[in-house]
A and B are shown apart, each in its own frame.
With several copies, the nearest count.
Chain A
Amino acid sequence: MPYIPHTDKDISVILKAIGVSSLDDILGSLPAGLRVKGSLNLPKGLSEQELKSLLKGLSGKNSTVEEYTSFLGAGAYNHYIPSVVASLISRSEFYTSYTPYQPELAQGTLQAIFEYQTLVCQLTAMDVSNASLYDGASATAEAVLMARRITGRHGVVLSSALHPEYRDTVKTYLKGSGDHISEVMYCTEEGRTLPGALEGAINDNTACVVVQHPNFFGSLEDVGELARIIHEKKGLLIVVTNEAVSLGLLKPPGELGADIAVGDNQSFGNPLSYGGPHLGFMATKTEYIRQMPGRLVGQTVDKNGQTAFCLTFATREQHIRRERATSNICTNHGLCALAASIHMVSLGSKGLKTLALLNLSKAEYLKERLSSAGVKPAFTSQTFNEFTVKVEKDPDSLLKSLLKKRIMGGLSLKKFHPVLSSHLLVAATELNSREEIDRFAEELAKA
């Protein structure tokens, strides 16, 4: 049997040592009438060779962003991942170990997380970061819950330019504690959240405002001004970043007044993977540490005074605090965080800045090519590597005809925002070559 080492002889030795003649003697306490009769109705087991060929076939039924030219983003970005990443995270000491409960056997994981926490703080200019959360959407939800705990208030104001699936996730997470969620509408001309609109949307019971930056439409938000407004009401600002590469170029949330910075670090080191696992991050101010969900690694010393690392602030967590924990999260996305760290370190500060500028440049070029082809940006705000355009034909049939040219031409926004029924959200990264962009513009003009 695959993976199970036991020979018949081993089984007899074991049974004898237990003092039973068969497994059934052990399972005596199980309600006999409810035992599974016969075997599970599952396909027959396969040899490794057969398995691999079967799955090769299944994977082949998907078309990849390598085979197609993709301009899809919307929270999942197609970046080049340096080879060092897979090479290092596939070291079994990393990927086959558990959460680092025994620090003597897990200094590698622990130091790596500590470094990851530092990298996230540097990227976001916040004081403290946790070890990871599941993804950007659930991290946003956790941030909202955290803001409620900090402020003791209930009201939650979401920018309607926050990723729709993030908004949905927040709503689901808040079902348990009463939602009190309202939305502040984005400006249909600028494609961003207007400070003025926010002013009208908040009140003294507003725990937090959540804005995404760059937002779902790709637009940059006036984060500093939004911060000022919510802070005046003593609420918190949660800034969501799901294209983390933008932080190579954009002023970090911490410098713009964010109280909690969350988002997704998938862009670093983690492939698209049909949407998961991605990598939720969260960073905040020192004063809020004890309300922060998720694991934390701290630096300390061992009994010989040598630098060492361990999990800390466990009293916030469920295995100590149970129902009074700051969150229920236990297994998080450790290996994804490791991958992100390695990618960030590989780039270094210079590489990251260049990468961000390259992304901006590709997107600006795409904007220009599309404009020339008659497809104009839908909003006036400045953007990073993603933006919204308005098309003349039905976007869905446009996209369909582009597929025939092996182009994934962006995301139709209709299903998320009915008013944006002739709008496409398009992204460009370092993986979109100039030729691809030119061809996209041409085909779009033709289609």
Chain B
Amino acid sequence: MEANGTKGLLLNEPLIFEKSSEGRVGVEPASFDVPRADAAALIPGGLLRDGLDGFPDLSEIDTVRHYTRLSQWNFGLDSGFYPLGSCTMKYNPKVNEDIAGMTGFTRIHPYQSEDLSQGALEVMYELEAYLAEISGMDAVTLQPSAGAHGELCGLLMIAEYFKSKGRPRTKVIIPDTAHGTNPASSHLAGFKVVPVKSEGKGVLTVEAVKAAIDRETAAVMLTNPNTLGLFESHIKEIADLVHSKGGFLYCDGANLNAIMGIMKLGDLGVDVVQFNLHKTFSTPHGGGGPGSGPVGVRLVLEPYLPVPRIKKAGKKFKLVTDRPKSIGRLKAFYGNFSIMVRAYSYIRRMGGEGLKRASETAILNANYIKERLKGTYQLAFDRPCMHECVFSDKLQQADGVSTMDVAKRLIDYGYHPPTVYFPLVVPGAIMVEPTETESLETMDKFIEAMRAIAQEAKTNPELLKNAPANTRVQRVDETRAAREPVLKWTGVKK
């Protein structure tokens, strides 16, 4: 087969500090049109800075080249297929970037008068309503900065609910397939985490929950579809169960891309859900953020939402803070507004039909890859999946080849590897999420590459073990990074 990946010229580049030359200025600040203040006279001596040791001095062109070259060592969604499971690496529309960059959205101050911010408030107000409609929730806050932040928000609200009723609860039940942020957020919200095992069934059973649940259980926290890409088919019964115990059903909505317009979480009995706008709603991941993690809740939890809330009075939008039951705030100001603008734009572009089509197509794509690679790679669960499918390296282990080797070899073929070794319940997991924005042709080529690699594993396993061969750096020594930590540059500036 013809591999997508090849080798070509890249430029080396040292650390920015090593390019520095004393006295150079890149983009100098504006000139002084007011008298130059006498800092030494104004600032108490002990508070005045002496030097700025090591801070780099570069010309503008060298700064530009530095970051241009760095970028060229990266692989983005725009470079190629990026089937990172659980991350919903769908296309990030360029028009959203243009829109988010409009000065009417970027150059507005969070404390400027509400009268001057009606456009921003309208976007936010409507986005809340759209997310409520999509999820079947009654109210939505846009404040959290990412998925994990949203989880914390939702769990704090649940905690607060019980506290306000005078009967605080202490536990949250979380399946072992859950993303690590779920237990971490629960802990941060003050809960004890009660893990339930999926025991090879792929989905959570009512029995397993029943065995774990009690009157101390504030919530069951699941992900639907779960991190195996499977629909939690007993979700409604689980919801009924947890409700019967007076608890809440929290759904990690990171995988919402599988069910938009197909099912509403609210109809399934979910009480709280966080959205990952940087997954489902096409906002870019930025190499590690910023994201945005709105939270939707049922009416009973609405009073606990963070402040401020956006209200519409007549044709005017305003921010309301006087909400005594609120958990307060999770950050300064109102959330990651520019990410909301992108998500809003995405929803308006797609419409209801489009969102549904997105989810349907995401499911088709995942099932296509599942079907065409099963047998070549061991499927964790051989049943219809939703938006992602999970394989393992079981069939490759005979040849002494691991998931990591397959992943690294894929790089040579020009693909970003899938998510590996997650979820933890599948040893050597290879989790593929194509998303709906990938074409049949792209998947076919990827499938071909995966098959070629499986073949190589048998005929020439060294190829895999030495992979990647095409990249500038190869098999980075992560152990050494942890053992001999070098966490910043400590050289001496020129």
Q: Do chains A and B touch in the complex (CB under 8 A)?
A: yes
Number of A residues near B (Cβ < 8 Å) is: 214
Other A-B pairs, 12, CB within 8 Å; known A58-B104, A58-B122: A7-B21, A36-B264, A65-B107, A75-B332, A88-B64, A108-B73, A137-B331, A169-B331, A251-B47, A312-B487, A357-B36, A364-B35
Bound: A212/B348 CA distance, A: 41
Give min CB distance, A3 to chain B, whole Å. Answer: 5
In the A-B complex, list the 4 residue pairs whose CB atoms are closest, starting with the nearest: A275-B333, A59-B104, A45-B351, A334-B288
**What are 21 A-B contacts with C-beta separation under 8 Å?**
A23-B363, A58-B122, A62-B108, A72-B111, A91-B67, A95-B287, A97-B76, A97-B77, A97-B286, A102-B411, A118-B17, A135-B145, A274-B108, A289-B485, A300-B480, A301-B476, A318-B180, A345-B58, A349-B51, A355-B29, A357-B37
Contact A335 B286 (CB under 8 A): yes
Q: Which of B123, B368, B437 contacts A5 (CB under 8 A)?
A: B437
Contact B333 A274 (CB under 8 A): yes
Residues of A within 8 A of B76 (CB): 92-97
Q: Are A59 and B46 in contact (CB under 8 A)?
A: no
B482 CB contacts on chain A under 8 angstroms: 298, 312-315
CB of A64, distance to nearest CB on chain B (Å): 4
Q: Report chain B residues within 8 Å CB of A349.
A: 51-52, 55-57
Contact check, A331 vs B285: say whether CB atoms are below 8 A apart: yes
For the side of the interface on B, what is the size category?
A: 35 or more
Q: Is B391 an interface residue (CB 8 A)?
A: no
**Neighbouring B residues of A437 by C-beta, 8 Å:** 34
The answer to whether the Cβ of A107 comes within 8 Å of any Cβ in the partner chain is yes
- Shortest A283–chain B CB gap in Å is 10
Contact with B along A95-135 (1 / 0, CB 8 A): 11111111111111101111101110111010011011011
A-B contact count (CB 8 A): 757
Q: Which of B89-116 contact A (CB under 8 A)?
A: 89-95, 97-99, 101-113, 115-116
A232 sits at the interface (CB 8 A)? no
The answer, yes or no, to whether B427 is at the interface (CB within 8 Å) is no
Contact A430 B331 (CB under 8 A): no
Chain B neighbourhood of A358, CB < 8 A: 29-30, 32
CA A248 to CA B365, docked complex, whole Å:
33
Q: Which of B228-257 contact A (CB under 8 A)?
A: 231, 233, 235-236
Chain B residues with CB under 8 A of A338: 67, 286-287
B284 at the interface (CB under 8 A from A): yes
Q: Which of A327-346 contact B (CB under 8 A)?
A: 327-336, 338, 341-342, 344-346
Q: Which of B182-190, B206-214, B395-403 contacts A (4 or more CB under 8 A)?
A: B182-190
A352 and B52 CA atoms in complex are apart in Å by 9
Contact A276-B71, Cβ < 8 Å, known A82-B27, A90-B97: no
A201 adjacent to chain B (CB < 8 Å): no
Q: Does A209 reach chain B (CB closer than 8 Å)?
A: no
Known A323-B186, A346-B27: A55·B341 in contact at CB below 8 Å: yes
Chain B residues whose CB sits within 8 angstroms of the CB of A58 once the complex forms: 104, 119, 122-123
Which residues in chain B, 471-491, are within 8 Å of chain A measured between CB atoms?
Answer: 471-478, 480-482, 484-489
Tell me, yes or no, whether B84 is within 8 Å of chain A by CB.
Answer: yes
Q: Are B72 and A172 in contact (CB under 8 A)?
A: no
Q: Are A354 and B29 in contact (CB under 8 A)?
A: yes
Q: Are B289 and A348 in contact (CB under 8 A)?
A: no
Q: Is B193 an interface residue (CB 8 A)?
A: yes
Asked whether any CB of chain A lies closer than 8 Å to the CB of B7, the reply is no
Q: Across the interface, do B333 and A276 meet the contact criterion of CB distance under 8 Å?
A: yes
CB of B482, distance to nearest CB on chain A (Å): 5
The contact of A40 among B22, B331, B356, B407, by CB within 8 Å, is B356
Query: Residues 364-376 of chain A: 1 if any B CB is under 8 Å from the residue's CB, otherwise 0?
Result: 1100000000000
What are the residues of chain A within 8 A of B43 when measuring CB–CB? 220, 249-250, 360, 382
B345 to chain A, nearest CB (A): 6
Closest residue on chain A to residue B122 by CB atoms: A58
Q: Which of A70, A98, A104, A434 contacts B109 (CB 8 A)?
A: A70
A60 near B: Cβ within 8 Å? Answer: yes
Kindly list chain A residues whose C-beta atoms are within 8 Å of the C-beta of B358.
Answer: 1, 3-4
Decide if A335 touches B287 in the complex (CB within 8 Å): yes
Interface residues of A in 251-297 (CB under 8 A from B): 251-252, 256, 264, 271-278, 289, 295-297
Q: Known contacts A1-B357, A301-B480, A382-B43; is A98 also within 8 Å of B473 by CB?
A: no
Q: Determine how close the nearest CB of chain A comes to the CB of B61; give it in whole angstroms.
A: 7
Contact B25 A275 (CB under 8 A): no
Q: Is A302 an interface residue (CB 8 A)?
A: yes
- Interchain CB contact under 8 A, B130 and A273: no
Nearest A residue to B78 via CB reads A92
> Do A348 and B24 have beta carbons less than 8 Å apart?
yes
